Amino acid sequence: MADNTIFDDVFRTMLEKMPQLIIPVINEVFHTSYSEDTPIQQYRNEHHTKSGEIITDSYLGIEDMLYHIECQSTSDSHMCIRMIEYDFAIALEHAEKNDSFFELNFPSSCVLYLRQNASLPEELQVKVNLPDKSSFFYKIPTVKVQEYTKDDIFKKRLLFFLPFYIMRYEKKLKDIGEDPAKLTQFVSEYKDIRIQLRRELPRDEETDLYTRLIELIGRIADYILKTESILKERIGDIMGGKVLELETDKILEHGIEQGIEQTTATFVTRMLNRNMSIEDIILYSGCSRDDVLRIKEQAETQHTLSSSENTLKRKPSKSR
């Protein structure tokens, strides 16, 4: 259960905090051509059936289409049955009456599989036999995330897959940790991912998106590498260390009151307090070197002033 929770949590966090990242995935799977700024309607993902409440991973509306996407970290032989049950519940919710009959519109659905499975088909199928002896196959595409290389991900803007990228190495971690050449190559790949991601999201307004992705990449890596201390430390250094909460969210909430400029200063100051290098801060924050050095100087001045004030407060006053 804990295994599923970490992946489900990251999946849902991206949908909630970074919904624009799902657009390229939908384009890839369903051969659509939505722009990444297309508005997305996120519907409730709880539906009640005779067998009880069912919860879908995602249930989205884009323009006049409905989309249902499930995320699986393990194989489930009954996934096709679950999908048709979920989709039927969604279709019932949007049932439309046309004159003398109702019309059901099923969502476009797919399943993202995070782990490689050679026996996984290109699509899940359910044969539906009707009372009049006719039948049809209900088909659900499968997406094998590990089949997408790093280059594929950046070329197709499938940044949604990046936090799960490390899962392709699960069965090789021990060998990587014991082989200096493989370790160097592994670390180099993650450095390249960080650099490419910064290039992919260079604008100031994309800084929070970049930071959230880096943190989620680090969170999944921290989980996958929990028994590999050397790899965990090396990847942690690249991704900014272990993060238990999305630090960006706390900073942005604080920034609503203090403005964007103060938000950036707070973000940079926190990274300085974590002893991150100037180069990494520039990469993470999108600030110039001069801006980082200016914020560093202001923080040091404020710290000096605060220390002086505390010293004065502690100094006993002379008695008359």
For residues 63 and 258, what is the distance between their CA atoms, to the nearest angstrom? 35
> Helix, strand or coil for residue 121?
coil
Of 107-111, 114-118, 206-210, 306-310, the one with minimum mean pLDDT is 306-310
Strand 52-55 with 108-113, pairing:
unpaired
Type and span of the H or E element at 67: strand 65-72
Segment 226-236 shows an average pLDDT of: 88
Chain centroid to Cα 222, Å, comes to: 14
Segment 45-64 shows an average pLDDT of: 66
Q: Where are the domains of the chain?
A: 2-147, 153-307
| Length of the chain in terms of residues written | 320
Segment 269-280 shows an average pLDDT of: 78
**Is 80 exceeded by the pLDDT of residue 283?**
no
2-147 is classed in which CATH architecture?
Answer: 3-Layer(aba) Sandwich (3.40)
Choose among 111, 117, 36: nearest CA to 68. 111
Average pLDDT, the chain: 82
Determine the pLDDT at residue 68. 92
| Residue, of 154 and 210, whose pLDDT is higher | 154
**Is 80 exceeded by the pLDDT of residue 263?**
no
Q: Which range has highest mean pLDDT (24-33, 286-295, 301-310)?
A: 24-33
Decide if 146 contacts 155 (C-beta within 8 A).
Answer: no
Type and span of the H or E element at 50: none
Segment 176-194 shows an average pLDDT of: 91
pLDDT, tens only, 294-307: 888 888 887 776 66
Determine the pLDDT at residue 245. 44
Proportion of the chain above pLDDT 90, given as a percent: 38
Chain centroid to Cα 68, Å, comes to: 17
For residues 159 and 214, what is the distance between their CA atoms, to the nearest angstrom? 11
Confidence grade of residue 243 (pLDDT, cut at 50, 70, 90): very low
Confidence grade of residue 54 (pLDDT, cut at 50, 70, 90): low
Decide if 228 contacts 174 (C-beta within 8 A).
Answer: yes
Of 12-21, 114-123, 263-272, the one with minimum mean pLDDT is 263-272
0.85 exceeded by pTM: no
Segment 212-238 shows an average pLDDT of: 89
Neighbours of 79 (CB within 10 A): 18
> Helix, strand or coil for residue 26?
helix
> Helix, strand or coil for residue 270?
helix
> Helix, strand or coil for residue 99?
coil
Proportion of the chain above pLDDT 70, given as a percent: 80
Segment 158-177 shows an average pLDDT of: 93
